[in-house]
């Protein structure tokens, strides 16, 4: 099964998230059942990152979006944790600083985009500007509704410069979200992540789903597609994201660049040095 084909949002596709099962796990029964595939994908991803870095012609931008507790941090840790940090970076978008707020909403995003040979993961992203700002009425509809086209053009510019963009919406049920909030309460190592806002935002759950549906419909393009990832089961979420990233990078025809030095001459110098010449 191609996970890319399974979960992609086609351009102009009508999206109804109520019809997407967040507990879907394909043919896999449990975490152990998928463990071997996940290990295999980890190895492939490390090799593909090396080729991306060596090739130095393309870059990869991963966008992670989802409601609170949907697993953005977990996806980063379990899917991308094995990457070489010399060529990978995570950027988390929080409330804009005074300097960032004084510019257009994409200014800070462009500065965080990957350079050639690099993989960058956005933990939340420029899409907050059509999600939280819409749901909470922080800007008028005339403002946030005009941002879809600006985002599409921004991402088209990135892809024209050699950036491959993969965007993942981590689709979680309302019941599972509450379960994860409770697990944070019960875990002394994760209680620090709890805030009053987590529970306050639950009253906007359906409003967020509507905003996500519009976002997916308006901004999933051929050059920067969205994928709706069933995320009630953390292990399947990680597996699905991993497979889509591996499949995409594997299709780019990445290769080690040709050597730019005279290898025979280098070997002669090495041989001479080895034998005291």
Q: Are the C-beta atoms of residues 133 and 81 closer than 8 Å to each other? A: no
Question: Measuring CA to CA, which residue among 227, 98, 110 is closest to residue 157?
Answer: 110
Ramachandran category for residue 121: left, alpha or beta (phi over 0 → left; psi -120 to 50 → alpha): beta
Render pLDDT for 104-119 as a digit per residue (tens, 0 to 9).
Answer: 999 999 999 999 999 9
More confident residue, 260 or 43: 43
Amino acid 266: pLDDT: 82
Q: Which residues of 79-107 are buried (b: 16+ CB within 10 A; e: fewer)?
A: bbeebeeebbebbebeeeeeebeeeebbe
Q: Are the C-beta atoms of residues 4 and 227 closer than 8 Å to each other? A: yes
Q: Indicate the pairing of strand 163-171 with strand 226-230.
A: parallel
Amino acid 67: pLDDT: 95
Alpha-carbon gap, residue 196 to 202, rounded angstroms: 11
Where do the domains of the chain lie? 3-274
Residue 186: pLDDT above 90? no
Q: Mean pLDDT check: name the lowest of 144-148, 176-180, 267-271.
A: 267-271
Render pLDDT for 157-178 as a digit per residue (tens, 0 to 9).
Answer: 999 999 999 999 999 999 999 9
Q: Are the C-beta atoms of residues 153 and 160 closer than 8 Å to each other? A: no
More confident residue, 30 or 196: 30
Helix (H, G, I), strand (E, B) or coil at 94: coil
Mean pLDDT over 81-92 rounds to: 95
Q: Are the C-beta atoms of residues 163 and 153 closer than 8 Å to each other? A: no
Residue 5: pLDDT above 70? yes
Amino acid 104: pLDDT: 97
Helix (H, G, I), strand (E, B) or coil at 107: helix
Question: Measuring CA to CA, which residue among 256, 228, 258, 254 is closest to residue 241?
Answer: 228
Rounded percentage of the chain residues whose pLDDT exceeds 90: 83
User: pLDDT grade, residue 277 (50/70/90)?
Assistant: low
Question: Measuring CA to CA, which residue among 145, 152, 105 is closest to residue 125?
Answer: 105
CA distances from 130 to 111, 172, 200 (A): 20, 19, 19
Amino acid 273: pLDDT: 79
Q: Show the tokens assigned to 205.
A: 């759950």
Alpha-carbon gap, residue 169 to 154, rounded angstroms: 19
Q: Are the C-beta atoms of residues 177 and 70 closer than 8 Å to each other? A: yes
Rounded percentage of the chain residues whose pLDDT exceeds 70: 100
The domain 3-274 is placed in CATH, from the list 3.40.50.720, 3.90.1280.10, 3.30.1340.30, 3.40.50.300, at 3.40.50.300
3 state SS for 41-75: HHHHHHHHHHHHHHHCCCEEEEEEEECCCCCHHHH
Residue 263: pLDDT above 90? no
φ, ψ at 166 (rounded to 5°): -125, 125
Render pLDDT for 219-241 as a digit per residue (tens, 0 to 9).
Answer: 999 999 999 999 999 999 999 99
Residue 62: pLDDT above 90? yes
Alpha-carbon gap, residue 25 to 34, rounded angstroms: 10
Q: Show the tokens assigned to 45.
A: 């991803």
Residue 198: pLDDT above 90? no
Render pLDDT for 64-84 as a digit per residue (tens, 0 to 9).
Answer: 999 999 999 999 999 999 899
User: pLDDT grade, residue 151 (50/70/90)?
Assistant: very high
């Amino acid at each position: 099964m191609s996970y890319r084909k399974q979960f992609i949002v086609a351009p102009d596709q009508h999206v109804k998230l109520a019809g997407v099962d967040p507990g879907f796990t394909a043919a896999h029964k449990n975490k152990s059942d998928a463990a071997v595939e996940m290990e295999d994908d980890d190895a492939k991803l490390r090799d593909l990152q090396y080729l991306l870095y060596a090739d130095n012609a393309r870059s990869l931008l991963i966008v992670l979006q989802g409601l609170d507790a949907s697993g953005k941090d977990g996806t980063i840790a379990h899917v991308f944790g094995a990457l070489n940090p010399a060529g990978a970076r995570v950027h988390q978008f929080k409330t804009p600083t005074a300097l960032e707020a004084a510019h257009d909403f994409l200014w800070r995003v462009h500065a965080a985009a990957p350079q050639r040979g690099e993989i960058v993961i956005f933990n939340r992203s420029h899409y907050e500007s059509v999600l939280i700002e819409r749901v909470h009425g922080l800007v008028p509809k005339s403002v946030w509704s005009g941002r879809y086209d600006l985002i599409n053009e921004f991402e088209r510019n990135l892809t024209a410069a050699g950036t491959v963009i993969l965007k993942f919406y981590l689709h979680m049920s309302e019941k599972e979200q509450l379960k994860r909030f409770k697990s944070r309460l019960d875990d002394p190592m994760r209680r620090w992540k709890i805030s009053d806002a987590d529970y306050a935002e639950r009253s906007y759950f359906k409003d967020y789903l509507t905003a996500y549906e519009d976002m997916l419909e308006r901004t999933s393009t051929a050059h920067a597609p969205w994928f709706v990832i069933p995320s009630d089961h953390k292990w399947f979420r990680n597996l699905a994201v991993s497979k889509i990233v591996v499949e995409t990078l594997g299709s780019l025809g990445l290769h080690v660049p040709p050597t730019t030095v005279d290898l025979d001459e280098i070997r002669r110098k090495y041989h001479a040095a080895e034998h005291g010449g």
